[in-house]
Amino acid sequence: MTQNGDFWRRWPQVLACGALAVLLGSCGSGADPAEAVDAESPDSAPVTPVDAAVTTDVERPTVASIGSLDPVGDTYLGNIYSDAVSTDPDWLSLWNQVTAENAGKWGEVEFPKDSMNWDTLDASYAFAKENGLPYKFHTLVWGQQQPPWMDDLTAPEQLAEIEEWYDLVAERYPDLDEIDVVNEPLHHPPTYTEALGGAGETGWDWVITSYEMARERFPDAVLLINDFNIVGDTGATSQYLELVDLLVERDLLDGIGIQAHFLETAPLERVEANLDRLAERQLPIFVSELDVDVADDLEHGKRFAELFTVFWEHPSVDGVTLWGYREGLIWRPDAFLVSRAVEERPALTWLRCYVAAQSDCLIPEPPPPPRIPDRGRVRLHVETADSAIGAEAGTEAVVIASDRAELRFDDVTLTPLQEFVTIHHSGAGSEVTVTITTGGPDGEEIASVTLDQKDGDRLRTEGTMTPVDGEFTVWVIVDGGVGVEIEHIDLRSR
């Protein structure tokens, strides 16, 4: 692997001191910023340095309780740079690696032909170098956010423009640490692949050419590939590895990037197994674009913690980059870690604890649904019972583990409208009786139901109950139901 020597010499300082220390200047300064070129004259020589100072008079509220997220071992924890970062007082206390969110995409820089807009890209590069942080360029070749005028050119003309694009980036940013050379080759190849050799003999000649051009112009950068729906899809992982192998055989790839969008429901075992398959190539893995798009705070925190732990603790993962963290300034709307009101979601509270200590960091359990009538029905979620004897809790059900089980539900509001009971359960191989009482296991009986004994996982047995009025402690007693799963019990009106 070829590496930028200065970056890797500085990296232990960043690891040892953390992002906050870098901000305070105690870890030494970063490299000198790159020099700029005339935006209207792509072939001109550099004339002025990129301004490393990002200043503004705009003030934003701070997240007062956030501390430094120091990396563990050799793994960085990064985030995106956008124009809003220049007014974000918390960014540097949280993250220690920089990726420009959109500014490095060719179509953002050169939307009209030969009219170059480097402003945000310059600022992101200077921000990283000024603060001694590793910087990833995103991206040289991609099928999205590319210059629309490329489609009007012949293949030789397209190739000339691609080479000019590479040359301009190399000249303007000589100290890039990492580069997403080709982004999303499996899902969004560009329209100009034929200019780069098309499929060719390998099926991926256009990708190989892209990396050959990058290796020539960026000999000291870590060259990465990047795509989404990889670790969540075993078939996509296999296809990705075929392309990775072609690049590795030619010494064109230094690390494997995996986007971490759209993993909200992916089985963790599959994610980890596919990470292991990628790790067999003996290249570092970089988790890019991590977000968890879940609206409920606690469910969001739980899933974020599950995914992040799998990535962070994998021995081949050398970096994790989040794709935004502030509400309203993030691509996927429910993936934020800090709200517009500058309040932490549980995921960020957990993250600070986990990265600092890696123990005793918990996402709070969601409160049980209120046990009050809703359109005439009170639903008792058995997995939220306040006590359970003779039953084993699952995620959405309990399994009866003895000949007699007792479940207690506090603060249940009942009215005379509740005259029927419906029990949602799995099949019972023998006679199982469910008795519902108030005041204790031997208290006043308000319902007794014998469960349906036919086979099945989602059965429903109905019965009648004695109406009562008031707030009660309700007991559910299950006799003779070893192995039966009970999901929930509805006390309902007609």
C-alpha–C-alpha distance, residues 434 and 451, integer Å? 7
Residues 131 and 353 sit within 8 Å (Cβ to Cβ): no
User: 363: exposed, middle or buried (C-beta count within 10 Å: 0-12, 13-18, 19+)?
Assistant: buried
Q: Measuring CA to CA, which residue among 192, 268, 257, 193 is closest to residue 228?
A: 257
Q: Mention every residue, 6+ apart, whose C-beta is less than 8 A from residue 465.
A: 418, 419, 420, 421, 436, 446, 447, 491
C-alpha–C-alpha distance, residues 198 and 178, integer Å? 25
CA distances to 39, 40, 105 from 114, in Å: 8, 7, 15
Q: Measuring CA to CA, which residue among 436, 406, 441, 409 is closest to residue 422?
A: 436
Residue 487, both tokens: 């999901």
Q: Measuring CA to CA, which residue among 167, 224, 162 is closest to residue 194?
A: 162
CB atoms within 10 A of CB 279: 16
The helix, strand and coil proportions of the chain, stated in percent and rounded to the nearest 5, come to: 30, 25, 45
What are the backbone angles phi and psi of residue 162, rounded to the nearest 5°? -65, -45
Residues 451 and 432 sit within 8 Å (Cβ to Cβ): yes
C-alpha–C-alpha distance, residues 419 and 424, integer Å? 17
- Element (DSSP H or E) covering residue 462: strand 459-464
Euclidean distance between the first and the last CA atom of the chain, given in angstroms as a whole number? 71
Query: Taking the alpha carbons of 238, 240, 241, 243 in that order, is the dihedral positive or negative?
Result: positive
Residues 405 and 477 sit within 8 Å (Cβ to Cβ): yes
CA distances to 166, 243, 280, 318 from 257, in Å: 20, 13, 14, 10
Active site residues: 184, 289
Go through 393-421 and write b for each residue having 16 or more CB atoms within 10 A of its CB, e for each that does not.
eeeebbbbeeeebbbebeebebeebbebb
C-alpha–C-alpha distance, residues 262 and 154, integer Å? 36
Torsion of Cα atoms, 453 then 458 then 464 then 465, to 10°: 110
Q: How many CA atoms lie within 13 A of 450 on its CB side?
A: 5
In sequence order, what DSSP letters do the residues of 43-103 get, joined into one string?
TSPP-EEPP-----S------TT-------TT-EEEEEE-GGGGG-TTHHHH---EEESST
